Each structure stands twice: as C-alpha cells, then as structure tokens.
Chains A and B, each alone.
Chain A
Amino acid sequence: MADLSINFAGIKAPNPFWVASGPPSNTAYQSHRAFEAGWGGVVWKTIGDPIVNVSSRYSALNLGGQRMVGFNNIELISDRSAETNFREIKEVKERWPNHAVIASLMVDTRERWHEFVKRSADCGADGIELNFGCPHGMCERGMGSAVGQNPEVAETIVGWVMEAATIPVIVKLTPNITNVVYAARAARRAGADAISLINTINSITNVNLDTLTPEPSVRGLSSHGGYCGPAVKPIALNMVQSCADDPDVGLPISGIGGIGNWRDAAEFLALGSLSLQVCTAIMHYGFRIVEDMNEGLSDYLDAKGYKSVGEFSGAAVKSISDWKYLDLHYKRVARIDYDKCIGCNLCYIACEDGAHQCIDLVDASPYGLGPGRVPGKPVPKVREEDCVGCNLCSIVCPVDNCITMTDIDTGREAMSWNDYQTKLAKGETAPIPAHP
C-alpha cells in the first residue's frame, strides 16, 4: 500500500489532499466535516480585516448539459473577525493534531503582516499561505492580485512576512500575469518556503441577453470575477510545470486548479506538485469526493510501483520542453478503424474546413456494410501520404479508439528545429520545402 502522507516544506499531512482557501474552509464546522471525510489538510479562508460581501456572488459556465464546467466568483476574503478565525483554527488543531491547518492571510502594512503572522503561529496553525491572488475587490485596495502581479512588491511583502514567521510560509500566486515564473522566483528570493498556484483567473462567464448583464448580477450590475473549476485545469497544469522546471524557483508546489478526482490529482503531482488543493469540486459535490481521491491515487501508485506520493511527485516534469527541441522528423498519421466507425463524418469536415484536407469521402463498398456504412453513403478515408498527423480528426471523433494516431518510421534521424538551423547554416542539409 502506497504511503499517501507528505511532508510539504515542513508541514506534515496524512495525505496530499487539502481543502483550498475559500468558502469550504470558512468555518471550524466545515473543517471538522472535511477531516472526518478524509481530507489531509485545510487552508483557511483568507483572514484579514473583515470585509462585507455582496449578495449574488457566483456564476458558472455550463457546457453541453454539463453543469459547472467553469465557475466564477466575486466573493472576497473572510467576513468573520480575525479573532473568530484564529480561535476556530486553534479549536480545529486541538481536535486534529495530525492534520495540516494553514492560515491564509491578506493584510496591507508591514506591522499588520507581522501581527497576523504571529497570531497564526500562536493559534497552532501548521503554516501560513499568503494570498497574492484575489482578483476582485481586494486588488482594488492594493492587496491580493495587485501584489501577485508585481514581483517586486511581492518580494518586499514576502520579506516582511519572513521577518516574523516561525512556521512555514507558502506564497499563493495569481495566474493573471504575463509569466508566473517571475512571481515564483520573487517568492524564492525573499525566502518563502513554498508556493501554491493557481488562484482564480479574471473572467466573465456569460451575458444575459435579455437583461444585458452578466451573472453574478448585483441589482443589475456585475463585476469581473475569478474563474476556477474543471475548465482551468490546463492553465494551472502549465503554470505548475513551468515553476517546477525553473531552476530559480526550486520550491515545493501546492497544485490548485480544477482538481475533481484522483486522475486530476495525479496529473498535478506528475507535473511537480507535492500537495493538492481543491475548492470548486467541494462546492459542487461536498467533502465526500476525497474518498475516491485517496483510494484512486493509492491504487494508482500501487499499480505503477510507487511507494509514496513524494516518489511520484514530478515524474512528468521533464516531459515538457521548449518547442525548438521537438523532433521535426517524427511522423504520425491518422488511421480509422472501420469496425468502430459510426459514419458521423465529423473527422472529414474537421480536416476539410479546419485543417489540411487530407480526408476524402469514398465509396463504402471495400469496407463492408456496417454502422455508418450503408449503400450509397460514402465513408471517410485518410490520405496517409498527405496526412500531417495533427491529431484533429482523432480529437473530434466521438468513438473511443476509432481513430488512432499511428507512429510512422520515416527512417530519418531525429532533428530538432535547433539542429535544423545549425545544419542549414553549415550546409549539411537542404531546406525543408514549404507546403504548397
């Protein structure tokens, strides 16, 4: 049985699944429920000077009948007093000494940072997370993402925090930035112990075409919100990997962004995370989703021969490279399995209008009758000699394993763009002809 426990920058937890800072980590009641359900840690809803929230806070992107593929919020940090929050953290830690409880903080001045950092340690929190990411409300007051978007400011504030910190400090980064790696490096330079990313992405999820206002609508007016949920996972994975791969970051990473099940979690771990934070999926289904996460991850690690989460973390970081190192002589083509093809012809029109016109509609007779193959109705056929192997047809095809992208041996040595430029300059190779 794989060991799911982790030591994240000195913070220990029985498993890597933490509740992210947000509505699910607002109260002690919820933390108790979360730990009873099997979560390994809770990052408290950001504590600062209490704010006032509006009524009407969330909206969602529903796609093709699937609800909440993307989620958006204009909710601010905790609207409960710091007093209440710190007292409840203490209560939770007393009942759950072996689970990780992390205080998320957002204040403005150096003195206030020192004060809140000390209060966090005093109430028994295992660590602190600095909220440099809230993209609405707080950033208008010079906090949240206003800090995260400015590496110099971020470095200064982290420096203040480290002056007073006696427990590990995690810096939570905003994705609303040109290159998150600069912010991560700034956190490292100032002495932070770890980073977590991503916070939410600036968004508007829809416009009501009758009222001409988006949701969430506050008496007819809306605001830019923070996007999260399954839709943002690809953006988060990219940012996690880029931080994991950067030699000037070199900090443990807590991965956040659309994690809903054990597979998502494993992907974040593979690309360099060590702990995982979940918010939107809990808001959708409740704390019970962690049961599958623990079980699925444990079974996966066992099946693949990993003894622990730590051993698996980062396993795929090096699978991503700069484009210029990709092999120009690698070739794959699309192959259609006519026993599975149902004759929807989506591959044809995708290739014809949207890509390289390498699929023809041909007479079905040689392929025998079957689903999608009736007399008089043509079937799609790939012109392999012209197929560039872009993957589009295999992506649009609705039948699993009907179109397989098949490696073709070109017999040629690997040659990246870099190599190509070098060889061209030396006259060792002829230029690759442009497509007609």
Chain B
Amino acid sequence: MPIQPLVDAETAAKNMAEKKPRYTPQEASIEANRCLFCYDAPCIMACPTGIDIPSFIKKIAIGNPTGSARTILTANVLGASCARVCPTEVLCEGACVVLDLEGDPVKIGRLQRYATDHVFEHHIDVLHAPAKKNGRKIAVLGAGPAGLGCAAELAQLGYEVTVFDKKKAGGGLNTYGIAYYKMRPEISLEEVEMIGRLGVEFRYEKEIGQSITAAELEKDYDAIFLGLGLGGANRLNIPGEDWPEVVDALDFIEWIHTRPLHEVPVGRRVAVLGCGNTAIDAATQAKRLGAEVATIIYRRGADDMPAYGFEYELAKNDGATFLFHTIPTEVMAENGHVHALRLARTETRNGKVSVIEGSEHTETFDLVLKAVGQEKQAAFLEKIFPGLKIDRKGRVEHNAETMQTNLPQVFVGGDCANGGREVVNAVAEGKKAARGIHAMLTKQKVDGPVQPSRYGSKDGAKGSGFNHPIRVPELLAAMAQ
C-alpha cells in the first residue's frame, strides 16, 4: 500500500514540539549560577570549537546575554544550532565538574541557546568583518556547517568569500537533516543570514562539476574550501531495494523539513536499517508522526551500536523497537508497494558478523528507511579535482593542523574529511581550514588557540578542545568506530 500521512496537524505539532524549550530569564539565571567558573575548565577542552564556556555562562549569570553570545559566536559561528543538536552528554556537559560534584552537570547546551536566542531575537550582530577587505578571494563549496564555519572565519579576517551550494538554501544538514524536535530549520537559515551579513556571498543551486568547474575556481580564487559532506545512503545490495518505499533515512528527514508536518507520509509499520544516530532520528520521528511500529534492525548487538547511549534511551522512550543481530535479505512487495522484509539472524564471532543458516523469517513493513551510512564521495571528488588524494575510507586526506589537501590551493573540512561526525566538528574543521588558508596566503604559521587568551597570561589557555581535545568515555568509544 502506498504510504500516507498518519496524524493531523495538531498532533504532529505536539509530537514534534521542541524537546528542550528555551529557558525563561530566571531559569537561565538559576542554572548559570550553578557554574563554578572553573579555571582551565574541562568543558572547554571537550568542546571541539573551544568555546570559553565558563565565561559565557558567567555573563548570563550577571545579566549580559549579548556579551555571552559574543563569546560563543566568536569561537563557534553556529553556536545556536550546536546548542540544540550537540551531543553535550558526551562533550561539554559530560566533562562538567558539577557532574562529579552533584551528579547533574550544568546545562551548558540550554544556556548557550538562551544567549544566542537573545541576540537573534533582538537583531544584535556581535560578529563583525573589517570594512576594508584584503583583496583575496576564497571559494567555499558547500553551505553546510563546515563551509559556514570556514566562510565566517575568513570573512572576519577580511577575505572576500563566495559559498556555492547545490540546494536552494544554505545550512546543509542543519537545514535539511536534523531531527525536527531538536531544531527547527529556521534557526539554521537565520545563521546563514547572519553569516551573509558578514559580507559572505551565497550562490545557490550551483553544483560543482555542473554549473562550476574546479578549473574555473582555481583560476578565479586564491583558495578553495571543500565542505561537500557525504553522498547518498549506502546501497543495501539486496533484491527489492529499488521499490518506492525503500527510502534514504535522510530523505525522510528532509521531507519533515520541507513540508508541513501533517503532510509527511509515514508507514504504519516502519523498518529502519542501521543503528547510528540517524537511524534513531528516523525511528523516533516516524513514531511521532503516527507509525504504529518503528523497528530498528541492526546486524550486530546492542553493545556495538554506533548511536549514543542517550539516543538509544530516547528511542526506547518513544516506543521504537529493536531487532539486534538481524539483517534484511530481501524487500518484498505486493501490487508495486513494499509490504514485508525478509530477515535473517546473525551472530558475531571475533568481530565478524555471519548469517545463521536457516534463520530466515518475514516481518511486515510498509516503509523501509536506510540509515546504514552515507556513501563517501570518493569517485565524485576524484573526478572533480583530479589528483585529489582520498584515503581508503573515502575521506579526503589533509594536514591535520591546516586542513590543506595534497592540492595546495584546496582545503577541506567536515564530513568529507572526517568521515561523518558532529556539526561542531565540521565547524571546527572549517575554522581550522580558514586559519590554514590565512597562514598560507600570508606566509605565516598557523597561530595559537581559537579564542584570545582569557587566562590573564600570554601563555594562553592550557587546554582548548580546538587544539588539544580531551574526550569523555562515550565519545572515546564513538571515536573508535
């Protein structure tokens, strides 16, 4: 049966309402006053963009939310999105000393949202680009978090920046791919506009290799930044994969962002293949939009799942079910529409997954969402930039400090460089690349920490996640994937 929307507008709005609404001023004040204002704080070390967290929280506590937003956005231009979507449990909040003191960390994410909301709502611009540009031009490919991080930093350094993106609007996955109840696309679009006010030019519906070529860019620009992300969903390579109700999970999530919630078609019985954070997002949103059943099907066991522990809990609370040690072997259809999945049980021996003979069975599903990872774009990138070195895992090779690739004019950051990590990592890498580009064009070495020293000494901060990240245990495990 073809899939349809399953809930009315009111129910959809209620189910997809923000999980963590904004603080009132008093709530923000009370929470901000829990912060101890540590010196050389672990939370700063855990933040990939090295935001001076104690400083921004203190400014909220004493009634200076504009100053607070300034501290946040100078380190991380997408501080407003990150406040909503960062896995703070395994980053700053996981490192917070108050977690050890009281068992409950300072709610850094929600405080960061409070400060950034303040400047957005009051139309206060806390970032500024120099009036006089330095005459150099940089092309940024991709208006997602990595490209935005790079563009904003370069604009503040006085460069003329042009960002190209194949879609109609900027923000990348922030606009099209984040769980709706975590962040509205409007926030991402406001961030893009803010970066535009720094003088960055955006050219939409321009695809590299189609409307623009690498050769043109190399001629017209002093440097190029690649923030192209990852490709479409990986193929399953099983029969029936091309039936219409076998959909890329990210496409499903994009529907949620580009049409009214109550018009998003959802299966009654939804299968989600894969068990990473995207799979969780797909399953939870399917349930919230009316699916009776949303089942995550994963080839390994619960202990091996790539999704964060707190995401697993979230999915269970939403009523998603989990089939571990199971793989799909065939998608079955009736009258041209998906109606079941043929599944087989697996077992893991010495890390290797193998199918158990004779374990095949069938389960009914009318929508199959693929969240088994996105294709790397190796072939595509090699075609566009001949000679660009890509590693065995499909990631663009680069210098870890400057983000420069083997092509001297070309720099890289974000998912196409790191294989697929968080928004905050993409922003940090975009910023690193900007500093790398700046160092190359001014013939200097890349300079110290992200934020000017706030520690009263030229020695600078002892630790900033931008340069010397620390990791909390779960993030360590996630990193090892």
Contact = CB atoms under 8 A, between A and B. Distances in A.
Contact of A37 (B37, B55, B62, B456): B456
B131 to A, nearest CB: 15
A311 B455 CA distance: 31
A291 B457 contact: no
A299 interface: yes
Given A286-B39, A292-B58, A399-B26, A262 B456 contact: no
B359 to A, nearest CB: 55
Contacts of A292: 55, 58-59, 62, 64, 67
Interface in A19-78: 33-34, 36-37
A159 interface: no
Contact of A299 (B67, B453, B457): B67
Interface string A280-293: 00000111100110
A263 B62 contact: yes
Interface in B23-82: 25-26, 37, 39, 55, 58-59, 62-64, 66-67, 70
Contacts of A299: 64, 66-67
Contacts of B457: 33, 36-37
A401 to B, nearest CB: 8
A413 interface: no
B443 interface: no
A262 to B, nearest CB: 7
B468 interface: no
Contacts of B454: 37, 288, 291
Given A286-B39, A295-B67, A400-B26, A36 B62 contact: no
A63 to B, nearest CB: 13
A378 interface: no
B394 to A, nearest CB: 43
B64 A296 contact: yes
B458 interface: yes
Interface in B1-42: 25-26, 37, 39
Interface in B56-114: 58-59, 62-64, 66-67, 70
- Max count, chain A CB within 10 A of own CB: residue among B63, B70, B457: B457
Nearest to A300: B64
B26 to A, nearest CB: 4
Contacts of B453: 36
B67 A261 contact: no
Interface string B451-472: 0011111100000000000000
A37 B455 CA distance: 7
Contacts of B455: 37, 286, 288
Interface string A293-336: 00110010000000000000000000000000000000000000
Contact of B458 (A34, A36, A262, A288): A36
A262 B63 CA distance: 10
Contacts of A263: 62-63
B62 A296 contact: yes
A291 B55 contact: yes
A42 B330 CA distance: 77
A433 B83 CA distance: 60
Contact of A296 (B39, B67, B456): B67
A-side interface mostly: helix
Nearest to B68: A292
Contacts of A288: 39, 55, 454-456
Contacts of B55: 288, 291-292
B62 A262 contact: yes
Contacts of A399: 26
B64 A295 contact: yes
A36 B58 CA distance: 20
A286 B456 contact: yes
Nearest to A291: B454
Nearest to B27: A400
Nearest to A284: B37
B55 to A, nearest CB: 7
A36 B456 contact: yes
Given A262-B64, A286-B39, A291-B454, A296 B59 contact: yes
A37 B457 CA distance: 6
B66 A285 contact: no
- Max count, chain A CB within 10 A of own CB: residue among B25, B62, B70: B62
Contacts of A262: 62, 64
- Max count, chain A CB within 10 A of own CB: residue among B37, B55, B62, B456: B456
A344 to B, nearest CB: 14
Given A261-B62, A263-B63, A296-B67, A34 B456 contact: yes
Nearest to A295: B67
Interface in B419-473: 453-458
A280 B55 CA distance: 18
Nearest to B25: A400
Nearest to A29: B457
- Max count, chain B CB within 10 A of own CB: residue among A37, A287, A291, A296: A291
Contacts of B64: 262, 292, 295-296, 299
A288 B455 CA distance: 6
Given A291-B55, A399-B26, A33 B456 contact: yes
Contacts of B458: 36
B149 to A, nearest CB: 24
Contacts of A286: 39, 455-456
A23 to B, nearest CB: 15
Nearest to A261: B62
Interface in A193-229: none
Contact of A287 (B26, B58, B456): B456
Nearest to B453: A36
Nearest to A399: B26
B71 to A, nearest CB: 9
A287 B64 CA distance: 19
A37 to B, nearest CB: 3
Contacts of B63: 263
A341 to B, nearest CB: 14
A64 to B, nearest CB: 11
Interface in A253-284: 261-263
A18 B26 CA distance: 31
Contacts of A291: 55, 454
Contacts of B456: 33-34, 36-37, 286-288
A338 to B, nearest CB: 17
A36 B66 CA distance: 24
A385 to B, nearest CB: 31
Interface string A370-404: 00000000000000000000000000000110000
A292 B453 CA distance: 13
B124 to A, nearest CB: 10
Contact of B37 (A285, A287, A296): A285
- Max count, chain A CB within 10 A of own CB: residue among B25, B59, B70: B59
A426 B146 CA distance: 81
B70 to A, nearest CB: 8
A296 B61 CA distance: 12
A399 B70 CA distance: 28
A17 B2 CA distance: 70
A375 to B, nearest CB: 26
A261 B60 CA distance: 12
Interface in B129-165: none
Nearest to B61: A261
Nearest to B67: A295
* In the A-B complex, the 3 residue pairs with the closest CB atoms: A37-B456, A287-B456, A261-B62
Given A33-B456, A292-B62, 18 more contacts: A34-B456, A36-B456, A36-B457, A37-B454, A37-B455, A261-B62, A262-B62, A286-B39, A286-B455, A288-B456, A291-B55, A292-B55, A292-B58, A292-B59, A292-B67, A295-B67, A299-B67, A399-B26
15 contacts: A34-B456, A36-B458, A37-B454, A262-B62, A263-B62, A286-B39, A288-B456, A291-B454, A292-B58, A292-B59, A292-B67, A296-B59, A296-B67, A299-B66, A299-B67
Interface of A: 33-34, 36-37, 261-263, 285-288, 291-292, 295-296, 299, 399-400
